[in-house]
Chains A and B, each alone.
Chain A
Amino acid sequence: MNQLLELLQKNARQTDAEIAELLGRETADVTTELAALEKDGTIMGYTAILDQERYAPSKTTAMIEVRLTPERGGGFDRLANRIASFPQVKSCFLMSGAYDLLVIVEGDDIREIARFVTETLSTMNGILSTATHFQLKTYKANGLLQSVPSERERLPVSP
Chain B
Amino acid sequence: MSLDPQRHLAQQIQKIPRSGIRDFFELVIGRDDVISLGVGEPDFSSPWHIREAAIYSLERGETSYTSNLGLLSLREAIAGYVSETFELRYDAKSEILITVGVSEAIDLAFRALLNPGDEVIYHEPCYVSYNPSIALAYGVPVAVATKPENDFSLKAADVAAAITPKTRALMLNFPTNPTGAVIDRAELEAIAKLAVEHDIVVLSDEIYSELRYEGTDHTSIATFPGMKERTIFLHGFSKAFAMTGFRVGYACAPQALMEAMMKIHQYSMLCAPITSQVAAVEALRHGAGPAEEMRQAYAHRRNLLLSRFAEAGIPCFAPGGAFYAFPDIRATGMTSQDFARQLLDEESVACVPGDAFGPSGEGFLRCCYAASTDSLREAMTRIGRFYEKHVS
Contacts and interface: CB of A to CB of B under 8 A. Distances in A.
B36 to A, nearest CB: 4
Nearest to A152: B45
Given A23-B303, A24-B303, A157 B38 contact: yes
B19 A159 contact: yes
Contacts of B301: 22
Contact of B300 (A22, A152, A158): A22
B129 interface: yes
Contact of A156 (B45, B129, B350, B373): B350
Contact of B40 (A7, A24, A152, A159): A159
Nearest to B41: A158
Contacts, number: 57
A154 B41 contact: yes
Contact of B25 (A18, A24, A152, A156): A156
A21 B376 CA distance: 12
Interface string A86-100: 000000000000000
B43 interface: yes
Contact of B304 (A21, A152, A154, A156): A21
Interface in A133-159: 152, 154-159
B129 A159 contact: yes
A41 to B, nearest CB: 26
Contact of A155 (B39, B296, B306, B377): B39
A3 interface: yes
A5 to B, nearest CB: 13
A130 B161 CA distance: 82
Contacts of B304: 21-22
Nearest to B39: A158
Interface residues of B, number: 31
Contacts of B352: 157
Contacts of B21: 157-159
Contacts of B1: none
Contacts of A3: 296, 300
Contacts of B129: 159
Contacts of A21: 303-304, 307-308
B86 interface: no
A18 to B, nearest CB: 8
A23 B45 CA distance: 23
B28 interface: yes
Given A159-B19, A159-B21, A159-B127, A154 B43 contact: yes
Interface string B292-323: 00001000110110111000000000000000
A18 B300 CA distance: 10
Contact of B29 (A22, A152, A156): A156
Contacts of A7: 300
A146 to B, nearest CB: 15
Contact of B28 (A23, A152, A156, A159): A156
Interface string B32-69: 00101011110101000000000000000000000000
Contacts of A22: 300-301, 303-304, 373
Report the 9 A-B pairs with minimum CB-CB distance, sorted nearest first: A22-B300, A157-B38, A24-B303, A157-B25, A156-B36, A156-B28, A158-B40, A159-B128, A159-B40
